Amino acid sequence: MYYGNRGEKTFLCLSSSLSFRLVWVKKSNVIFISVCLLVLFGGTLDDSAHAASVSMVQPISFGTIIVASSNVTVEINAINAAAAPHIASGGLAQVSDGASGLVQVFSDTPGQSIILTYPDSILLTNGGSAMTLNGIASRSKQSAVSTSVGPINFNVGGLLHIDGGQASANYSGTMTVNVTINNP
């Protein structure tokens, strides 16, 4: 907080971790604006003032997939909303349970442009067995502009490739999602 009184001109500048606000009391705003800009360029506003946060709320789960001898792809298309996995192509297979992942970005300033960048592919592994998960970006929410302070959800999907005769096991992998927040 920066507070000052210069003659009959009273002004108040407030700064918090969430926002920077200017409030003036008197009608003449010439001196007020000048001083507040000095405060701004004096270092009060930095990245720490925009304490946006990013967290994984829910992992991507492709559920339980029963496969026969043919190659199969299982898709979670979460580009528009949360989604469940389904058999996208291939031979005999059945999928149950599962859901898209969820990354939550907390916007601390309305108007923030938030962009998520996903890897092209990752491997889901169990011991020496592996499956490829790709097509992530095209099946996930990639960007948003905040309209208010609060969390913004990004649903995450992808396309899982399962070989015929894929070993029965629990597979897992981790992708790193890069988040860029452009403040207004």
Partner 1 sequence: MKLLRYALVGTVVLGLIAGKSADTLAATADVTATATIVASALTLTKDTDIDLGSIIADSIGPCTITLNASAGAAVPAKTAGNCSVAGGTSGKITVGTNIASTVTIGYTIVGTGTATAANQLESAALTMPFTGANVTAMSTATNLPVTVAGPNVIHVGGVLTVAAAQAPGVYTGKVTVTVNY
Binding site for partner 1 (CB under 8 A): 30, 33-34, 37, 41, 45, 47, 50, 52-56, 59-69, 74, 92-94, 98, 101, 103, 122, 124, 131, 133, 156, 158, 160, 162, 165-184
Q: Please say whether the dihedral angle defined by the alpha carbons of residues 50, 182, 140 and 176, taken in this order, is positive or negative.
A: negative
Least distance between partner 1 and beta carbon 106 (Å) = 10
Least distance between partner 1 and beta carbon 44 (Å) = 13
CA nearest 145: which of 180, 114, 117, 107?
114
Least distance between partner 1 and beta carbon 118 (Å) = 9
Beta strands 113-117 and 9-15, pairing class: unpaired
* Comparison of 4 and 50: residue with beta carbon closer to partner 1: 50
Q: Please say whether the dihedral angle defined by the alpha carbons of residues 160, 162, 91 and 168, taken in this order, is positive or negative.
A: negative
Q: Are the C-beta atoms of 60 and 37 separated by less than 8 Å?
A: no
Q: Are the C-beta atoms of 112 and 183 separated by less than 8 Å?
A: yes
Least distance between partner 1 and beta carbon 86 (Å) = 13
Query: Both tokens of residue 20?
Result: 């920077």
**Quick one: DSSP state of residue 70?**
S
**Using CA atoms, how far apart are residues 61 and 117, in angstroms rounded to an integer?**
20
Least distance between partner 1 and beta carbon 127 (Å) = 12
**Using CA atoms, how far apart are residues 172 and 123, in angstroms rounded to an integer?**
8
